[in-house]
Chain A
Amino acid sequence: MEALIKKLAEAWGPSGYEHQVRDLIRAEVEPLADEVWVDPLGNLICRIGDGPLRVMVSAHMDEIGVVVSHIDRQGFARFANLGGVLPATLLGARVRFENGAIAAVGVENQFSKRTTVPGLDGFFLDLPDDSGVQVGDAGAFVAETVWQNGRVIGKTLDNRLGCAVLIETLRRLKEQGTPHTVFGVFTVQEEVGSRGAMTGAFGVEPSLGIAIDVTPTGDVPKPSPSPVKLGAGAAIKARDTGHIVPAWIKELMVARAEEANIPHQFDVMQIGTTDAATMQLVRAGIPSGAVSIPTRNVHTRSETALLSDIQATVGLLVAVLSNAIERP
């Protein structure tokens, strides 16, 4: 799984421009799936099994990025964000465009601003000559993915970890079988407001939704409040700012985790939400839950997670999806 995660995390796919990531994932899931298709907004949907309960399991493919909004006469580009780009992460970052051109991110008045961070409009992209980059082009940040002693650091672990977990879950379900119809949905445009999950869930019409995403941890110096710890296992969502998980879904996940001895913890997010919050409101309503992978430094180029948590998340999903699901 380490190699798959590295490959996915280093792929290029800002919100709305997920095609390169989709191609990589498609190659992984095509041999596993009973059926694979891409819907009108670009979600990759992969069906396994044909049991009576339709379950949608989603992981978003997109990553935060930028769109070039203006290029001045010296060739420096200004940009807008795609998703939650944190200005403090920008200075010295690199941005890659679809054509392969790589820009460095600079800041106005660099040495007079040692302790303050300007807004996005204080930064610019330093493009190489004849880069071919134009106003309107989308870019994504660049960083190498590093594995050391079961710990991964890289960009876009949000949410290529979720994609890798979903691929691995589908692989195991293919081997073990599932009594359900499982739709693995690799969604687009989560970072700009869970847009792909909305249309994906409409098309799939599931009776149960589960989102896989990363969640920030509360175990670092002066953290945002969170009960989640790195290394404590798969984080079963209880609530976030857009989603109260139905008790039976939470209890189902806990029961399966305990039976299979899978390390798990509860996730209560104070900031942010996932595709599940959108899914629950589609059509006549879709009861939804979420499993999160504990991740530090979310939305930076050095997102950090543990293989043990990633494996626990796969284990939990396989345990849930390969067994009977009793709805109240």
Chain B
Amino acid sequence: MILRELSEAIGVSSAEDAVRDLIYEHIRDYVEDARIDALGNLIAVRRGTGAVDLRVMAAAHMDEVGMIVIGYDSDGSLRFRAVGGLDARILPGTRVLVGQDRIPGVIMWTPIHLNRSKDTVSIERLRIDIGASSRDSAQSAVERGELVAFDSRFVELGPTVRGKALDDRAGCASLIALVQGERFPFDLHVAFTVQEELGLRGARVAAQSIEPDVAFVLESTACHDLPADLDEPDQTTITRLGAGPAITVADRSMVSDPRLVRHLAQTGEREGIPFQFRSAQHAGGTDAGAIHLTRGGVPSAVVANPCRYLHGPTSVMNLSDFENQSRLLRAAWMALTPAILERD
């Protein structure tokens, strides 16, 4: 399963190489003009039939959140900082893989026998234990600046799957499937981007070089639908698992182009593909935030897989949501015309 390969590949922001290689293997027979740009984005063109004259960009980010080693304690433990948005409350006891050599480690914590505090330990005070017993032995195993990823096996749970980095490897997998399928009426310019988790950095330069007329971002977004208390009428959720891919109307980085939101929703209704709207009440941003402000502006939209426990070692995603992400986009792209983007 491609999702397993992508989820278990390691590509903490700025070191996406292994993910990029894997994606390239899956798309190389279907694309032209594949290249890796200066920041590391994988950019390629899936030729279309030529029926529609539009430059369409589709992006999914390859990077995942993780950590970076910044120093050593005399007992051989590693000091680290977050790369991307991490929640210090979930880190203690988490298994990690450190550096190029994938050295297994665990984030230290105080066992319950001794811990009387209910306070969260800040990332600054957490350490990674790789089994080293001195500063020297730690230093010879791991350099400062090496990156740390969650150590998490991909598991199929039934209708859902569990794994790390589904944000945004699920989006990458959908984009691969879209590239591998039937040709679209237009040339599709795909960008598998770097460093989204650090501030949409890869997407910005990718869009500057592609110069698209319109852009779609394939994401994975937070889902907070548990406990599902059906007697609580005011329970607000950002997305619900199993309710279909989520269309973003507005988040902190972008107000989606209403014409594209309408086109996606009408496509879903016409084709009987379930979808939901991501609640705008919650924070967050995507590559579309950078893409839509590129050069003279790019009408953009986001379709995302709802994922529980996002930015943790074990996210949970519904497979039908995932499959419907590419179904919805495929149907929407097949019906995409310049008229949708005309004004007045």
User: Using a CB–CB distance below 8 Å, which chain A residues touch chain B?
Assistant: 15-17, 19, 23, 26, 38-43, 67, 69-70, 72-74, 76, 78-80, 82, 120-121, 134-136, 138, 189, 192, 195-196, 198-200, 202-203
By CB atoms of chain B within 10 A, which of A26, A67, A79, A121 has the most?
A67
User: Which residues in B have their C-beta under 8 angstroms from that of A42?
Assistant: 343
- Say yes or no: is B308 at the interface (Cβ < 8 Å to chain A): no
What residue in chain B is nearest A189 (Cβ atoms)?
B255
Verify B295–A202 contact, CB threshold 8 A. Answer: yes
Residue in A76, A78, A82 whose CB lies within 8 Å of B250: A82
Interface residues of B in 328-344 (CB under 8 A from A): 341, 343-344
Known A-B contacts A16-B256, A79-B281, A82-B255; A40 and B299 likewise in contact (beta carbons under 8 Å) = yes
User: Which residues in A have their C-beta under 8 angstroms from that of B292?
Assistant: 41, 195
10 closest A-B pairs by CB: A16-B255, A199-B297, A41-B297, A69-B281, A80-B280, A136-B277, A203-B296, A69-B279, A136-B249, A40-B297
Which of B30-38, B87-95, B233-241 participates in binding chain A?
B233-241
User: Which residues in B have their C-beta under 8 angstroms from that of A70?
Assistant: 236-237, 279, 281
What residue in chain B is nearest A124 (Cβ atoms)?
B234
Mask, B244-263, CB within 8 Å of A = 1, is 00010110001111100100
What residue in chain A is nearest B213 (Cβ atoms)?
A40
Verify A39–B281 contact, CB threshold 8 A. Answer: no
Inter-chain residue pair count (beta carbon < 8 A) = 92
Verify B296–A202 contact, CB threshold 8 A. Answer: yes
Verify B281–A78 contact, CB threshold 8 A. Answer: yes
User: Which residues in B have their C-beta under 8 angstroms from that of A16?
Assistant: 250, 255-258
Q: How far is the CB of B262 from chain A (nearest CB, A)?
A: 10
User: Which residues in B have their C-beta under 8 angstroms from that of A203?
Assistant: 295-297
Whole-angstrom CA separation of A72 from B230 in the bound complex: 11
What residue in chain B is nearest A196 (Cβ atoms)?
B297
Whole-angstrom CA separation of A80 from B292 in the bound complex: 21
30 contacts between A and B (CB under 8 A): A16-B255, A16-B257, A17-B258, A26-B344, A39-B296, A40-B298, A40-B299, A40-B341, A41-B297, A67-B280, A70-B236, A70-B237, A72-B233, A72-B234, A73-B233, A78-B281, A79-B280, A80-B250, A80-B281, A82-B250, A121-B236, A136-B261, A138-B249, A195-B254, A195-B292, A195-B293, A199-B295, A199-B296, A200-B297, A203-B297
Q: How far is the CB of B222 from chain A (nearest CB, A)?
A: 13
Q: How far is the CB of A14 from chain B (nearest CB, A)?
A: 9
User: Which residues in A have their C-beta under 8 angstroms from that of B247?
Assistant: 136
Whole-angstrom CA separation of A83 from B59 in the bound complex: 27
What residue in chain B is nearest A203 (Cβ atoms)?
B296
Q: Is the contact region of chain A dominated by helix, strand, or loop, or is it mixed?
A: mixed
What residue in chain B is nearest A137 (Cβ atoms)?
B249
Residue in B249, B296, B343 whose CB lies within 8 Å of A67: B249
Known A-B contacts A16-B250, A42-B343, A136-B247; A80 and B296 likewise in contact (beta carbons under 8 Å) = no
Q: How far is the CB of B127 from chain A (nearest CB, A)?
A: 36
Known A-B contacts A16-B256, A17-B258, A38-B344; A121 and B293 likewise in contact (beta carbons under 8 Å) = no
**Given A195-B292, A202-B296, 7 additional A-B pairs, CB 8 A:** A78-B236, A121-B236, A136-B280, A195-B254, A195-B293, A202-B295, A202-B297
Q: How far is the CB of B19 from chain A (nearest CB, A)?
A: 30
Verify A74–B299 contact, CB threshold 8 A. Answer: no
Known A-B contacts A16-B255, A42-B343; A135 and B281 likewise in contact (beta carbons under 8 Å) = no
Whole-angstrom CA separation of A195 from B252 in the bound complex: 12
Q: How far is the CB of A183 from chain B (nearest CB, A)?
A: 13
Whole-angstrom CA separation of A189 from B293 in the bound complex: 11
Whole-angstrom CA separation of A41 from B258 in the bound complex: 11
Whole-angstrom CA separation of A105 from B273 in the bound complex: 34
User: Which residues in A have their C-beta under 8 angstroms from that of B249?
Assistant: 67, 136, 138
Q: How far is the CB of B93 from chain A (nearest CB, A)?
A: 32
User: Which residues in B have their C-beta under 8 angstroms from that of A198?
Assistant: 293, 297
Whole-angstrom CA separation of A135 from B281 in the bound complex: 11
User: Which residues in A have their C-beta under 8 angstroms from that of B295?
Assistant: 199, 202-203
Verify A199–B299 contact, CB threshold 8 A. Answer: no
User: Which residues in A have their C-beta under 8 angstroms from that of B213?
Assistant: 40
Q: How far is the CB of B113 from chain A (nearest CB, A)?
A: 39
User: Which residues in A have their C-beta under 8 angstroms from that of B233?
Assistant: 72-74
Verify A121–B281 contact, CB threshold 8 A. Answer: yes
Verify B277–A39 contact, CB threshold 8 A. Answer: no
User: Which residues in A have their C-beta under 8 angstroms from that of B280?
Assistant: 67, 69, 79-80, 136
User: Which residues in B have their C-beta under 8 angstroms from that of A136?
Assistant: 247, 249, 261, 277, 280
Whole-angstrom CA separation of A136 from B261 in the bound complex: 9
Interface residues of B in 285-344 (CB under 8 A from A): 292-299, 341, 343-344
Q: How far is the CB of A232 from chain B (nearest CB, A)?
A: 35
Verify B236–A67 contact, CB threshold 8 A. Answer: no
Whole-angstrom CA separation of A78 from B238 in the bound complex: 12
Whole-angstrom CA separation of A39 from B280 in the bound complex: 25
By CB atoms of chain B within 10 A, which of A72, A80, A138, A200 has the most?
A80
What residue in chain A is nearest B341 (Cβ atoms)?
A40
